Amino acid sequence: MDRMEEQLKNYALQCEEIESQLSEPAIMSDRSRMTELSRKHAELLPIVQDYRQWRRIQKEMADVRELLHSEDPEFADMAKSELKDLIVGQNEIRQRLEEYLRPKDPNADRNSIIEIRAGTGGEEAALFAGDLYRMYSRYAEARGWKVEVLSSNSTGLGGFKEIIFMVSGKDVYSRLRFEGGTHRVQRVPETEASGRIHTSAVTVAVLPEAEEVDVDISPEEIRIDVYRSSGPGGQSVNTTDSAVRITHIPTGMVVTCQDEKSQHKNRARALKVLRSRLLEMEQQKMADEQRSQRRLMVGSGDRSERIRTYNFPQNRLTDHRINFTLHRLESIMEGELDEIIDALIREEQINHLKDVG
């Protein structure tokens, strides 16, 4: 716990320095500075209080261990009992300290835009894209989140070549951020008469929702085209030019939206997706520049990375990033994702603690 304790010592020193500053007349007369220091003190105080308690328990444990070898058996038993209680208290505080020091994702509290696209596998991949959309929708429903489809390109058999949707609610991005990557499915397709198992792939991207203040897009940077929306097979589903295609000229990024009958609504949705993609691109660039932080992550976040296999004949799901396997694929496809998501979060915490401790 050397590096972890060093970090906690720094917090304690910062807290003491702030407490000293808060008592200075010049600071007390400066409302904005007083507010800033008070906020920082309130953030540090719970951490520092636990750290001080941790140190007290460490000292008490050292004292009690000296009594374990007492010649009086009754006294030695009392020391053993007290040591057990101290260890329990120490573990509880350690868990809290580890949580304090866990890196906080700046996007953790944001909503998410999820993009699911069919990859290799033709119609079977499109059908699985639809299955993943339903899986995430059911998971969102169970957690009280809201799902809103922003754009979709469906196929005749009920699958999706692409579907983009927003998930809104508490802790959405912090729970769903590990879902980005390539999801592989192994099963007998509905369209397969001979019963052969096929392997198909679907890519998932999880973007933190970007607000206008996060990404500034000037009118000169985009080209907006409008056209008539179409459904499966290319047939027209609208008699007006309500579909919108936005091209971000500096990056060449293209976003289309045709689900709404209103051109205005489609334009707003397409801009929302574009902002989120640009925010993700900028944050990915920063992460690539900070290579030392990459090893703290579970997976690279690259949507080309194969992260998970869904094997239907064996009712098995395997997450390749952490070598985690569950034999209850049916319930997972019904939205019961907490066990796998919790395992991914724990692995990231372990990686971080190895780095700081």
State the pLDDT at residue 304.
Answer: 63
Please check whether residues 146 and 223 belong to one and the same domain.
Answer: yes
User: Which of 128-142, 283-297, 341-355 shows the lowest mean pLDDT across its residues?
Assistant: 283-297
Helices (H), the chain: 2-22, 25-28, 31-67, 73-101, 122-142, 172-176, 263-289, 329-333, 338-356
The verdict on 91 and 206 lying in the same domain is no
Same-domain check for residues 139 and 270: yes
For residue 296, name the pLDDT band (cuts at 50, 70, 90).
Answer: very low
In a shared domain, residues 146 and 65: no
Any domain includes 131: yes
pLDDT at 74: 84
Residue 297 confidence (pLDDT) above 60: no
Band of pLDDT at residue 357, cut at 50, 70 and 90: very low
Classify residue 19: in a domain, yes or no.
Answer: yes
* Domain with 261 in it: 112-349
Can you give the pLDDT at residue 295?
42
Output b/e per residue, 246-255; b: 16+ Cβ within 10 A: bbbeeeeeeb
The rounded Cα 339 to chain-centroid distance in angstroms is 15
Among the candidates 48, 71, 101, a domain finishes at 101
Of 81-85, 282-286, 351-355, minimum mean pLDDT range: 351-355
Nearest partner of 230 among 124, 160, 159, 152, judged by Cα:
152
Q: Is residue 355 domain-resident?
A: no
Residue 195 shares a structural domain with residue 75: no
Specify the range with the lowest mean pLDDT, choosing from 11-25, 40-54, 291-305. 291-305
Percentage of the chain surpassing pLDDT 70? 86
- Above 60 in pLDDT, residue 124? yes
The answer on 135 and 32 residing in a single domain is no
Q: Among 47, 68, 101, give the residue marking a domain's end.
A: 101
Give me the CATH number covering residue 341: 3.30.70.1660
pLDDT band at 173 (very low <50, low <70, confident <90, very high): very high
Alpha-carbon gap, residue 127 to 155, rounded angstroms: 8
149 and 79 belong to one structural domain: no
Q: Do 50 and 173 have their domain in common?
A: no
CATH number of the domain within which 13 lies: 1.20.58
Q: Is 106 part of a structural domain of the chain?
A: no
> For residue 213, what pLDDT is reported?
64
User: Would you place residue 104 in the very low, low, confident or very high pLDDT band (cuts 50, 70, 90)?
Assistant: low
Q: What is the pTM of this model?
A: 0.63
How confident is the model over 60-101, as pLDDT tens digits?
Answer: 998 888 888 878 888 788 888 899 999 998 888 988 887 777
CA nearest 319: which of 328, 310, 329, 331?
310
Question: Is 67 within the bounds of a domain?
Answer: yes
Tally the domains of the chain. 2
Query: In the structure, what pLDDT confidence band is assigned to residue 292 with cuts at 50, 70 and 90?
Result: very low
pLDDT of 345 reads 86
For CA atoms 146, 129, 242, 235, give the dihedral sign.
negative
Give the mean pLDDT of the chain.
Answer: 84
Reported as a pLDDT band with limits 50, 70 and 90, residue 261 is confident
Indicate whether 126 and 86 sit together in one domain.
Answer: no
Residue 357 belongs to a domain? no
In a domain, 356, yes or no: no
Asked if residue 11 and residue 55 are part of one domain, the reply reads: yes
* pLDDT value of residue 53: 93
Domain stops at, among 67, 101, 135: 101
354, part of any domain: no
On whether both 193 and 249 belong to a single domain, the answer is yes
Same domain, 183 and 44: no
